[in-house]
Structure 1
Amino acid sequence: MTEPSVSLEALRQRIDALDNDILRLISERAACAQQVAEIKAEHEPGGVFYRPEREAQVLRRVMELNRGPLDSEEMARLFREIMSACLALERPVKVAYLGPEGTFTQQASLKHFGESAISLPMAAIDEVFREVEAGAVNYGVVPVENSTEGVINHTLDSFMDSSLRICGEVVLRIHHHLLVGETTRRDKVSRIYSHPQSFAQCRKWLDAHFPHAERVPVSSNAEAARLVKTEWHSAAIAGDMAAKLYGLAKLAEKIEDRPDNSTRFLIIGNQDVPISGEDKTSLVVAMRNQPGALHDLLEPFHRHHIDMTRLETRPSRSGVWNYVFFIDFKGHREEPQVAAMLEEVKLRAAEVKVLGSYPVGVL
């Protein structure tokens, strides 16, 4: 036997031994999760099993301790799936998302909760809110803004009348592909299906490569992929999940106009989330209709050194030409500096509604 063969066989034996250790340790972790479930069931009947702040802390710690060769995000994704499977032993998490199957929102749901969560597609954003409010599911996942096309107003408007809180966020890199069925040729594509947002995010590419193809807007990219599955001479703009789900081929990959194209999704639920150590807070503020109102709103943020990350306006439902402000900023509402700032804003505003404090997205 040659020296390389001996070395290779030794490495394989080492890998087998490591696999045995990994298997044993994962099983021990799962057993601990079961014990946690028993303690919670005894001392906190009907209590919360999924803890967003705890998961965020664990994933951050994994990424900080990781020394490679796997990159930190890949390592965190592995631990996410381990935690998802262990949590399912305690109590499976039910999650509603903006469907149908194969959408980017489903991808965001899987990225945040892992494959062991029970995911249920909903036809509209307000249906996701209703399912969570009714207690039919534990959490919902909805899109809130895209780096190219801006905010999703339907999501912001849904918070106006809802008592739900934001429990987390997911930022997903969005890669669009031009998908076709197995019988479609590139030179025969005369119709392209997609969601209006995706058409907007791929406008320049489409103008350059398919300027004469009819662009047909549909309710979701997954629906576009489903239609193309049964049609000739048509294509769909959709992502990897839809391509795999409907068995479509990629005629062109990553056709989005901006390579940094990303969408932010919110996790909505019924409970407040404790401090995780790296948090964000969202609120909606209605100001009195008077000169200097916006300055009065922003001044406490500046004085208390609070980093505002987003400011959006939406028409108020209480009167013509009145507006409300949706604000995101760094920090948790229970932190003294943030609490002091919020008290000042409440004195200046007509109404303040804290939508939630939650961990900054880790993955």
Structure 2
Amino acid sequence: MSDEQTRLAELRDRIDSLDKQIMDLISARAQCAQEVAHVKMASRPDEDVFFYRPEREAQVLRRIKAENPGPLSGEEMARLFREIMSACLALEKPMHIAFLGPEGTFTQAAALKHFGHSVISVPLPAIDDVFREVESGAAQYGVVPVENSTEGMINHTLDMFIGSPLKICGEVQLRIHHHLLAAKHTDDKAITRIYSHQQSFAQCRQWLDAHWHGVERVAVSSNAEAARRAADEPGTAAIAGDMAAELYGLRKLAATIEDRPDNTTRFLIVGREEVGPSGHDKSSILVSMRNKPGALYELLEPFHRHGLSLTRLETRPSPSGTWAYVFYIDFEAHVEDPQVQAVLAEIENEAVELKRLGSYPIGVL
């Protein structure tokens, strides 16, 4: 054997040995996770026990990123551990995660990014349906889009929180890469129609005007639906992501056609349980103020005085009356923090209604 072959054989033997050690350690971790579940069930035999703890998971992933020695990036190492934790959690009972479907949407990609691939993802046709599925207990959690860096807030999601008892349990941000897709047998020059969701058309408007000006654009319920149509209908294309392209066997006519390279969508995880502090949290509230001069100042001033950082302020029409409004507010801190309790107590004295939507870990991945 040459020196190169000898060295490669040694390295491969070492990789095999390391793989065995990794497998043994993952198995030991899985057994430990099973023991945690058994302890929880034994101490609460008459309760519906939640094995998934968002705050604990966020703490673990942050520690992995901080202690990662390389050469893999902290983000990549955390993704690997995300899948290990997902598989360990599924040993007891795989979670059902409702998402805005159909299969192949960016919302499904966000759900799998947050929960890992060992969950059972349940596609539903509308945001309302996702909320109802979780409220009924048929799904443990739901994933819905709430804002896009290009097109702003998704108002339907905000409005659902006005009447829903669900809590926000987490968030996940997903870089959105749009591709122009077509069936493998489609002649590029014969394309007369492009399907996509209206938000995707808006996020790719300049590129489409420059490269496919004059081609009919037809808005459909989702990018996955657009991909399905492009796979079935001759002379058509779709704007969608990698998951939809793979699901429907489409080829890319053009990749990453979004107008802004930082195009990102934020998704919320909704559930029935309160989430404890993780050490790096965000809280969301809905507030309805009395219609009087200075009402907005009275709402915001306590946040400034107590040193709380607002990350989002949105206004939505109130269902209670004409020209009445509800404020949707995100801020960095957990509701159990003393300064947050002081701020909310002041607001409650002045507000018509204050609804706590939940505190949850700031997205790690």
**Residue segments in structure 1 that go unaligned for 5+ positions in a row:** none
How far apart are the structure 2 equivalents of 1:318 and 1:229? Answer: 45
Paired letter, 2:321: G
Residue of structure 2 equivalent to 1:35: 35
> Are 1:346 and 2:348 counterparts?
yes
Residue of structure 2 equivalent to 1:19: 19
How far apart are the structure 2 equivalents of 1:126 and 1:241? Answer: 24
> Are 1:10 and 2:10 counterparts?
yes
C-alpha displacement of 1:206: 0.3
Within a 5 Å distance, the mapping from 1:178-189 to structure 2 comes to 178-189=180-191
| Deviation per residue, 1:5-57 (Å, 9 max, x gap) | 21111111110110000000000001111111111111123221110001000
C-alpha displacement of 1:338: 1.2
How far apart are the structure 1 equivalents of 2:363 and 2:122? Answer: 22
State the secondary structure of the residue aligned to 2:357. Answer: strand
C-alpha displacement of 1:170: 0.5
Q: 2:339 aligns with which of 337, 340, 353?
A: 337
How far apart are the structure 2 equivalents of 1:40 and 1:94? Answer: 20
How far apart are the structure 2 equivalents of 1:79 and 1:113? Answer: 11
C-alpha displacement of 1:189: 1.4
Within a 5 Å distance, the mapping from 1:212-231 to structure 2 comes to 212-231=214-233
C-alpha displacement of 1:223: 0.2
How far apart are the structure 2 equivalents of 1:38 and 1:61? Answer: 25
Pairs aligned (count): 363
Within a 5 Å distance, the mapping from 1:1-363 to structure 2 comes to 1-45=1-45, 46-363=48-365
C-alpha displacement of 1:283: 0.5
How far apart are the structure 2 equivalents of 1:172 and 1:30? Answer: 28
Asked if structure 2 preserves the Cα contact closer than 8 Å seen for 1:49 and 1:91, the reply is no
| Deviation per residue, 1:169-204 (Å, 9 max, x gap) | 000000000000011122221100000000000000
State the secondary structure of the residue aligned to 1:135. Answer: coil
> Which TM-score applies when normalising by structure 2?
0.99
How far apart are the structure 2 equivalents of 1:342 and 1:186? Answer: 58
Identity %: 66
State the secondary structure of the residue aligned to 2:135. Answer: helix
C-alpha displacement of 1:247: 0.2
Paired letter, 1:213: V
| Deviation per residue, 1:54-111 (Å, 9 max, x gap) | 1000000000001211111111110000000000012211110000000000000000
State the secondary structure of the residue aligned to 2:290. Answer: coil
Does 220-229 or 184-193 show the bigger shift?
Answer: 184-193
Paired letter, 2:237: A
C-alpha displacement of 1:2: 1.8
Paired letter, 1:17: S
Does 37-46 or 248-257 show the bigger shift?
Answer: 37-46
State the secondary structure of the residue aligned to 1:350. Answer: strand
What is the alpha-carbon root mean square deviation over aligned residues? 0.7
Paired letter, 2:224: A
How far apart are the structure 1 equivalents of 2:338 and 2:294? Answer: 27
How far apart are the structure 2 equivalents of 1:285 and 1:25? Answer: 48
C-alpha displacement of 1:122: 0.4
How far apart are the structure 2 equivalents of 1:335 and 1:82? Answer: 32
Paired letter, 1:2: S
How far apart are the structure 2 equivalents of 1:311 and 1:184? Answer: 46
| Deviation per residue, 1:242-291 (Å, 9 max, x gap) | 00000000000000000000000000000000000000000000000001
C-alpha displacement of 1:145: 0.3
**Residue segments in structure 2 that go unaligned for 5+ positions in a row:** none
Asked if structure 2 preserves the Cα contact closer than 8 Å seen for 1:93 and 1:117, the reply is yes
Paired letter, 2:87: A
C-alpha displacement of 1:319: 1.0
State the secondary structure of the residue aligned to 2:91. Answer: helix
How far apart are the structure 1 equivalents of 2:174 and 2:187? Answer: 31
